[in-house]
Amino acid sequence: MKTYMCVPCGFMYVEELGIPEDGIPAGTPWEEVPEDWTCPDCGVTKADFMAIEI
């Protein structure tokens, strides 16, 4: 599983955790996160996230 970081604000999307409060269950791969989803902290789109190694 991978982690993606919002470049503008640093919010982390961790595939194994998902974001259940946004309707994205744990284990959801980044590719399956809806294209119209936005960062819950700053509102940018998926295009503003980058894959990171932790």
Q: In order along the chain (54 residues), what is the average pLDDT of each group of 10 residues? A: 96 98 96 96 97 90
Question: Are the C-beta atoms of 27 and 1 separated by less than 8 Å?
Answer: yes
What pLDDT shows up at residue 54? 77
